[in-house]
Amino acid sequence: MLLEVSNLTTAYRGLIAISDISIAVGEGEIVTVAGANGAGKSTLLKSIAGMEKPKSGSVSFTGERIDTIPAHLITSRGLAYVPENKRLFPRLSVYDNLRLGSYLHRGKADREAPLELVFKLFPRLQERLSQRAATLSGGEQQMLAISRALMTRPRLLMLDEPSQGIMPKLVDEIFAAVKQIRANGVTVLLVEQRLSESLEISDRAYVLQTGRVVMSGNAADVKTNPEVRKHYLGI
Amino acid sequence: MTTQAFLQVLASGILIGLIYALIAVGLSLIFGLMDVVNFAHGEFLMLAMYAMFGLVLVTAIDPVLLMPIVVGIMFVVGVSAYAGVIRFAMRAKANPGMVQIFATFGLALVIQGLAQYFFTPDYRNIGNSWLGGKTLNLGGVFLPWPQIYGGVISLLAFGGLYLLITRTDFGKALEATREDQGAVALVGIDRNRVFALGWGLGAALVGLSGAVLAVFYYIYPQVGGPFALIAYVTVALGGFGSIFGALVAGLIVGVVEALTALILPPALKSVGVYSLYLAVLFVRPSGLFGRL
């Protein structure tokens, strides 16, 4: 497995946010983590990315422990993370945000190679290269955040609610992009509220409830599960 | 007052203003990067002046040539100050702002005490140098060469800093870290490394001004105090964190100080500058080019 999370528990100020979570993501998969607000989805991604320190358990990426190293080294090992609030550099231009994404790489060819994919996925970014990131619309900012993460040349891309707060037309574009990203050899771990769309493009899914995994399986099975349909799909 | 005298004062004010700007910019850079006011800034200046004095004493090489070495030494001092003190102060669980203030203030006291002990409180100066004591006569306006040299160095340093920030990857990393220090890890940048280099750069810049000042100013353990005070005024006037603001404000402070000295008795020399400072605080608390 590319990513293996084992018995992970993370607490905020003494309150357990996720408890004893074990998930795995294989090379080339798209895996969705679903669940209601406060189920611990974001905490799970933060804990994997090194932005939050787990209380116990372990995270392995490409067979090596990463829960003991600082966040910037996790990025440099090929695990990119797009947080819910995107964390772009708002006063810097779109181009500078992208360029910072490839900070770790040396040599012009190496640094600019991912740009081709980025512009293919999101042509509108190319038109806005000199604009400040803060002046982009919500959807464009999401595109830039995903693109900046792609510039690090990750093996695994973790996206936290990429469809949140953006207009419906762009949501489709983002889901289409996620499929494209996987087609380009990048594994994707997706946290989403829009379960129907994300299960559509996923191979497997985990469902979280109050910090625990309550269900997991093939995306198709999860989608047809009566409990899931009732609670998360509103059918 | 004759036009000649006015021009003389204006030119002197501009030259010293450029040096004030160079002293202030390192302070502004560090503040902009990580919201820490370095209260040991004056001590960094003092250390740089003693470094120059010591190097001239030992090597008998001219200060102009020794300047890069002083800058290099101060870069190391800045990185060490971050790695040895500031880094730990930033980890404070409660009231980190206060902890940082006292940490840099404590650093200032320690450097001050060590300087008193090792260098003694005696006033020293670099006697003979290529530029020392020479003046340029510009149509009746007399300008000392060491100050002209200082002004030119300052402008070059600002030019270099501008290029560093706008044209290099490290400059972009600095900008990104000041935008959102928690987000740079997402692109694989170690913010502690950026902070350490930022302190090195800030100290190197004040070191450059110390290397210049040492040519024409007395050197003693408290020499940094008055200059640091002016640097705080300059940074507040220009806008905390603004590099261009530091340049403009330094020039304003230099010229206002020189003009005040022309009009008021010498004892009231600083009144103009501090009145200006108060006026700015009342009218535009974020400074001329501040983002706050």
Closest chain B residue to A98 measured between Cα atoms?
Answer: B187
CB contact under 8 A, A87 and B169: no
Res. A233: pLDDT tops 80: no
In the prediction, which pLDDT does A13 show? 83
Q: Are strands A156-160 and A187-191 parallel, antiparallel or unpaired?
A: parallel
CB contact under 8 A, A81 and B186: yes
Higher-confidence position of B21 and B241: B21
Q: Are residues A199 and A222 in contact, defined by beta-carbon separation less than 8 angstroms?
A: yes
Q: Are residues A94 and A158 in contact, defined by beta-carbon separation less than 8 angstroms?
A: no
Radius of gyration in angstroms for the set of CA atoms belonging to chain B, rounded to a whole number: 19
Residues 143-162 of A with CB under 8 A from B: 148-149, 151-152
In the prediction, which pLDDT does A235 show? 58
0.95 surpassed by complex ipTM: no
Res. B53: pLDDT tops 60: yes
Closest chain A residue to B169 measured between Cα atoms?
Answer: A103
Res. B195: pLDDT tops 60: yes
Domain ranges of chain A: 3-85+137-231
Res. B61: pLDDT tops 70: yes
CB contact under 8 A, B173 and A151: no
Percentage, residues of chain B above pLDDT 90:
81
Domain ranges of chain B: 3-283
pLDDT digits (tens, 9 = 90+) for B207-235: 999 999 999 999 999 999 999 999 999 99
**Mean pLDDT score of chain A, rounded to an integer?**
94
pLDDT digits (tens, 9 = 90+) for A34-77: 988 889 999 999 999 999 999 999 999 999 999 999 999 999 99
Q: Which CATH class is domain B3-283?
A: mainly alpha
pLDDT digits (tens, 9 = 90+) for A156-187: 999 999 999 888 889 999 999 999 999 999 99
Higher-confidence position of A231 and B262: B262
Res. A8: pLDDT tops 60: yes
Average pLDDT of the residues in B86-94: 91
Just give the CATH number of A3-85+137-231. 3.40.50.300
Task: Name which of B166, B178, B180, B187 to mutate to probe chain A: the one with the most chain A Cβ atoms within 10 A of its Cβ.
Answer: B187
Average pLDDT of the residues in A132-154: 96
B190–chain A Cβ distance below 8 A for any pair: yes
Spatial separation of the C-alpha atoms in residues A185 and A83, rounded to whole Å:
21
Average pLDDT of the residues in B14-34: 97
Spatial separation of the C-alpha atoms in residues A84 and B246, rounded to whole Å:
37
In the prediction, which pLDDT does B93 show? 87
In the prediction, which pLDDT does A234 show? 63
Spatial separation of the C-alpha atoms in residues B210 and B202, rounded to whole Å:
12
A31 beta partners: A189, A204
**What's the whole-model pTM score?**
0.93
